[in-house]
Amino acid sequence: MYFEAIGVDALKSDWMARGDASRDPDPILQLIEDHKKAIRDMDDIIDHVSELEQCLPEEKQKSDFYCFELNIVPSDDPRWIDITRQYYEGFRKSDDIALQMLTTAPTTLAGVSALLKYATDHVDAGYLWPDKLGGIEDGDDESVVSHRRHWFFFLNRSLAEAVRRLEA
């Protein structure tokens, strides 16, 4: 009604779109919560791994994963095989969420702030972010990175772009 009075189509208004976006929850906040849960789940798995390491003979705990490759030894104790699979899947899930944080731009300054705080608190608590990332678009010419860069490089670039958009 107010927009009609000044001759502006409210459905096409950038101002209205930004107002609607500010009422919608910032998707980065959900990703942070999802990542926190994935890390809690991983901590539980690691506790269980430690328990099994104490009670199982070493020759029954050969299954493992290294460099994203799962190696199951059929003669292992079934509990060890199961926890190795859980550990592998949990590790992949937490990394997948961490990578989604790089490709999901915060839509609010609160989201930018939350992501910056979470990223530093995560490292401060002794956890790691995925590193040596390759294959993520890098640069204005949309060429694929031929070398590997750390997660924080892509985080900083994403946040700088989000802040630039929010200032507009």
Instruction: Of 17-21, 22-26, 158-162, give the lowest mean pLDDT range.
Output: 17-21
User: Is the full-model pTM beyond 0.85?
Assistant: no
50 pLDDT more than 90: yes
**Nearest of 163, 161, 116 to residue 140 by alpha carbon:** 161
* pLDDT value of residue 17: 44
> What does the angle CA 36 – CA 132 – CA 28 come to, to the nearest 5 degrees?
30
What residue spans define the domains of the chain? 26-167
pLDDT attached to residue 73: 97
Band (67; pLDDT cuts 50, 70, 90) = confident
Q: What angle do CA 149, 35, 107 make, to 5 degrees?
A: 75
Alpha-carbon distances, residue 18 vs 3, 104, 114, 142 (angstroms): 15, 17, 20, 27
pLDDT of 151 = 84
Which residues are 64's β-sheet partners? 71
- Model pLDDT for residues 106-128, shown as the tens digit of each residue: 999 999 999 999 999 999 999 98
Long-range CB contact pairs, 46-51, < 8 A, 24+: 46/87, 48/83, 48/86, 49/83, 49/87
Q: How confident is the model at residue 167 (pLDDT cuts 50, 70, 90)?
A: confident
What three-state secondary structure class fits 81? helix
Q: Among 115, 146, 121, which Cα is nearest to 133's?
A: 146
* Per-residue pLDDT tens over the stretch 80-102: 999 999 999 999 999 999 999 98
Contacts by residues 101-105 (CB-CB < 8 Å, ≥ 24 positions apart): 101/28, 101/31, 101/32, 101/35, 101/155, 102/136, 102/151, 102/154, 102/155, 102/158, 103/136, 103/158, 104/27, 104/28, 104/31, 105/28, 105/158, 105/161, 105/162, 105/165
